[in-house]
Amino acid sequence: MAQPNFLNVGVIGTGWVGGIRANSCAHSALVDELHIAEIDAGRQRQIIAETDPASITDNWQTLIDNNSIDLIIIAMTPETARFPIVMAALNAGKHVFVEKPLAPSISEAEDAYALATAKKLKISIGYSRRFDPRYVYVKKALMDGAIGEPVTCLISRHSTRELGEKITGRSKMSPTSIGGVHDLDFLLWCLQPRKPIRVYSQQAGKLFSRKSDTPDHQWVMVTMDDGTTITAGVGWILPVGYPNYVQAWIEVVGTEGALTIDDTHKEVQFNNVKDGIRYPMSSMPGEPVDHVFAGSMQDETVHFLEAVAYDRPAMVTPEEAILVMKVYNAADLSAERGEPVFLPRNGS
Ligand SMILES: NC(=O)c1ccc[n+]([C@@H]2O[C@H](COP(=O)([O-])OP(=O)(O)OC[C@H]3O[C@@H](n4cnc5c(N)ncnc54)[C@H](O)[C@@H]3O)[C@@H](O)[C@H]2O)c1
């Protein structure tokens, strides 16, 4: 087996998700030095205690200018401020892993992929569902023909309102483009080589809309070119259950069988006098629990480290990432117009 190139990694933004990425890097034998950029002084102290980084700064440019850093993970918010960092990292010759969305527009995403290709750099996007064993089982069952021809696939996902308020407070993105995007990516990946041809979406808003124009929930129906249907819904107003609680329900029905996945995270219940029942270890990405992680984000992070260290392909191809963007853009347009949107649009 080829010897890996040991890596110096920079993580920009170490809140909830960037914190999991930084901890994953700190646990990995492939990582030589970990460097962090984080603007919040309190969070800096916590992440130093958790990961013992080689350096920490409040200025992301310092990591870009550090020639010893091979790979940058970008997990800072708001999402709208992230694209210049992606391009700066690529221009500086660093491999890039970025949380979704990769870019504000499809043309900017294409620019990032073109730059990465020209510089022979890897770039990937955080679609963590692809590393959850239960989800991968669905893909394998479909690929193996275990349930025959797929007929219809549903994912319904809800997070608590504390998470919804956090997300909607920092950017004006639709529920589908910031949350449902995971499920669209996953189902489009599962159903390859089928292509989406028709997208219909509706939004509902009765709670967050009292304060802003943010909807509470969005359903998207996608018809694939062989007639398979996808229904993916995401909402963010559940009552508080546990910090970062997210629940999902999945049904995949085919001509010869069906798969149902209960991804509601109810298997671990914690009950105390102060708060009543809570569901710990219930977040979608999976926080560290001592020496292990409670979800798939660590595996995803290690996959990208390995892709760079061993020069292997990274999960999520440019074509897949761009297709997901086209579908969620079509969904938002459909919700706005109240009518279906057909793909490809304008020949693209
Ligand atoms: N893959 C998944 O399952 C998944 C799940 C949830 C969120 N996400 C993605 O992760 C991203 C991060 O979400 P989060 O909940 O961790 O956000 P967060 O608010 O908890 O963390 C963001 C961090 O970035 C820091 N920051 C802000 N500006 C900075 C700057 N200029 N330089 C350095 N640090 C800066 C903040 O201080 C904060 O600590 C989101 O964009 C979201 O798309 C992915």
Q: Which of 16, 83, 172 to mutate to test the pocket of ligand 1 (most atoms within 8 A of CB)?
A: 16
Give yes or no for a contact between 325 and 127, defined as CB atoms under 8 angstroms apart: no
For ligand 1, atom 37: residue with the closest CA: 40
Q: Which CATH superfamily is domain 130-284+323-347 in?
A: Dihydrodipicolinate Reductase; domain 2 (3.30.360.10)
Question: Residue 169 is which amino acid?
Answer: G
Q: Which of 20, 60, 99, 124 to mutate to test the pocket of ligand 1 (most atoms within 8 A of CB)?
A: 99
For ligand 1, atom 39: residue with the closest CA: 15
135: left (phi over 0), alpha (psi -120 to 50) or beta: alpha
Can you give the pLDDT at residue 278?
86
Cα separation, 213 vs 183, whole angstroms: 23
Pocket of ligand 1 (CB under 6 A): 12-18, 37-40, 43, 60, 75-77, 79, 99-100, 126, 128, 284-285
Longest dimension (CA), the chain: 60
Q: Which two tokens stand for residue 287?
A: 């926080």
Report which of 264, 266, 204, 213 is spatially closest to residue 237, judged by C-alpha positions: 204
Report which ligand 1 atom has the smallest distance to the Cα of 285: 3
Question: Residue 44 is which amino acid?
Answer: Q
Can you give the pLDDT at residue 210?
87
Taking the CA atoms of the chain, what radius of gyration do you get in angstroms?
20
Q: Which of 77, 83, 176 to mutate to test the pocket of ligand 1 (most atoms within 8 A of CB)?
A: 77
Give yes or no for a contact between 68 and 59, defined as CB atoms under 8 angstroms apart: no
Backbone angles phi, psi at 110, to 5 degrees: -65, -35
Residues 246-277: tens digit of each pLDDT = 999 999 999 999 999 999 988 888 899 998 88
- DSSP notation for 137-184: HHHHHHHTTTT-SEEEEEEEEEEEHHHHHHHHHH----HIIIIIHHHH
Can you give the pLDDT at residue 144?
96
Collapsing DSSP states into helix, strand and coil, what is residue 268?
coil
Domain ranges of the chain: 7-126+304-313, 130-284+323-347
Can you give the pLDDT at residue 243?
80
- Residue 340's DSSP bridge partners are none
Report which ligand 1 atom has the smallest distance to the Cα of 19: 16
Other Cβ atoms closer than 10 A to 133: 9
Q: What is the CATH number of domain 7-126+304-313?
A: 3.40.50.720
Cα separation, 129 vs 186, whole angstroms: 7
- pLDDT tens string, the chain, 348 residues long: the values are 778 789 999 999 999 999 999 999 999 999 999 999 999 999 999 999 999 999 999 999 999 999 999 999 999 999 889 999 999 999 999 999 999 999 999 999 999 999 999 999 999 999 999 999 999 999 999 999 999 999 999 999 999 998 888 888 877 789 999 989 999 999 999 999 999 999 999 999 999 988 888 899 999 999 999 999 999 999 999 998 778 889 999 999 999 999 999 999 888 888 999 988 888 876 788 888 889 998 999 999 999 999 999 999 999 999 999 999 999 999 999 999 999 999 998 755
* Element containing residue 104 per DSSP (H, E): none
Cα separation, 247 vs 108, whole angstroms: 32
* CA torsion angle 85 86 88 94 (round to 10): 130
